[in-house]
Chains A and B, each alone.
Chain A
Amino acid sequence: ILMLSLALGTMITITSNHWVTAWAGLEINTLAIIPLISKSHHPRAIEAATKYFLTQATASALMLFSSMTNAWSSGQWDITQLTNPPSCLLLTAAIAIKLGLTPFHFWFPEVLQGSSLTTALLLSTAMKFPPTTILLLTSHSLNPTLLSTMAIMSIALGGWMGLNQTQTRKILAFSSISHLGWMTIIITYNPKLTLLTFYLYSLMTTSIFLSMNSTNTLKLSTLMTSWTKAPMLNTTLMLTLLSLAGLPPLTGFLPKWLIIQELTKQEMTTTATIISMLSLLGLFFYLRLTYCSTITLPPNSSNKMKQWSIKKPVNTLTPTL
């Protein structure tokens, strides 16, 4: 039932041309995910649910308020027509809170940490989809400098704060923050690239989450002994992680390359060099993850096959994309 309402909320937001329907879809999504986050009665999960609820509810209220001020000044409730500059600013802030862009990213790692792996997957891929569609619909009237500064800061912060983490869910949270930065940096120039980045990013993240779910690795130390459980899965995990980092022969390089090309076409070469330097920071912890998972051997190599789970076939296909 909860999955159905999630899908319903996403559909409502995507197919909306009136602000109230978009807001309604977003609220349905928020309401449907809250019980999913707090299903296990662990105090950490419930704390994550409270943080998530508070941030998302404020963002929805802000969005409603910005659409209201826009309707006051222009008399229209259409999504594609935003004429009032302060309401555009408020709307950008609201969507940034919902997505987890800097400077409003503070809720994201903790919420991902407190939820189980499958709900974390849902949170970081499916829940990002309606706000990105709203961004896409309104991108021609938003402030480009604000968006690009937020995007650069989020790439920087996503790479920087991920350096000292040992919990894999937090690492994935920071990687998603930096990927969101890549997505928003191109949104005013070529929205199709944003969609492409989003699709590829969600594919790669789902495969990583599912493989981590089947081997049940929550910390870096668990990752090191996961090669005993399913060796094929481990190698594909390594490849997927490297693809997420954006190394050339793998698929993850494609959106980065196209984005840099588009930015240089628009004469923003300093921005392009800055973001490619900052993605080096992210590369460090992706490399550390792959190093821990495949290249090192633990001290006592015990070949016990611990868990036989059924979720394997998805992952061997998706990294070879």
Chain B
Amino acid sequence: FSWSSLGLAFHRTHLISSLLCLESIILSIYIALSIWPIKNQTSATLMQILILAFSACEASAGLAILIASTQTHVSDHLRNLNLLQC
């Protein structure tokens, strides 16, 4: 988890890599959450399905934003996002 959050914080170019890191964060949380009930012999499967559904929605929204930003800006690089200057 911490590896992917560091990767998200230090993305240099390409918005796609930050989206990828976000997905890996959520995936690591999901794996950890599914291992935990097996160790403690409880069951928390409804929670898991809910988390999966919402993270899938988030990922698709992120991809849609990526497409929209490549339509209006020229490319994917982070250096193009400086239109909102002070």
Contact = CB atoms under 8 A, between A and B. Distances in A.
A114 B86 CA distance: 12
Interface string A40-72: 011110111111011001101110110010011
Contacts of A170: 86
A68 B48 CA distance: 12
B44 to A, nearest CB: 8
A72 to B, nearest CB: 7
Given A50-B81, A170-B86, A38 B65 contact: yes
A7 interface: no
Contact of B58 (A27, A49, A110, A114): A27
A230 B86 CA distance: 29
B22 A61 contact: yes
Given A27-B54, A58-B22, A68-B29, A50 B61 contact: no
B38 interface: no
A122 interface: no
Contact of A47 (B8, B26, B54, B81): B81
DSSP class of A's interface residues: helix, strand, loop or mixed?
helix
A60 B8 CA distance: 14
18 contacts: A20-B47, A24-B50, A24-B54, A42-B72, A43-B83, A44-B84, A46-B73, A47-B83, A47-B84, A49-B65, A50-B81, A57-B62, A60-B58, A61-B26, A64-B26, A65-B1, A110-B84, A114-B84
Nearest to B57: A31
Interface residues of B, number: 31
A10 interface: no
Contacts of A124: none
Interface string B40-65: 10000001001100100110011001
B69 A41 contact: no
A203 B58 CA distance: 31
A270 interface: no
A47 B73 contact: yes
B8 to A, nearest CB: 6
Interface centre among B57, B69, B83 (most CB of A within 10 A): B83
| Closest CB pairs A-B (n = 5) | A43-B72, A110-B84, A61-B25, A27-B54, A44-B83
Contact of A27 (B8, B22, B57, B83): B57
Interface centre among A30, A41, A68 (most CB of B within 10 A): A68
B73 A20 contact: no
Contacts of A164: 86
A74 interface: no
B33 A68 contact: yes
Contact of B69 (A47, A61, A75, A109): A47
A60 B62 CA distance: 14
B33 A46 contact: no
Nearest to A20: B47
B49 to A, nearest CB: 10
A23 interface: yes
A31 B68 contact: no
B72 A46 contact: yes
A69 B25 CA distance: 14
A71 B39 CA distance: 13
B22 A57 contact: yes
Given A50-B69, A114-B84, A65 B58 contact: no
A58 B84 contact: no
Nearest to B36: A72
B20 interface: no
A34 B5 CA distance: 22
A113 interface: yes
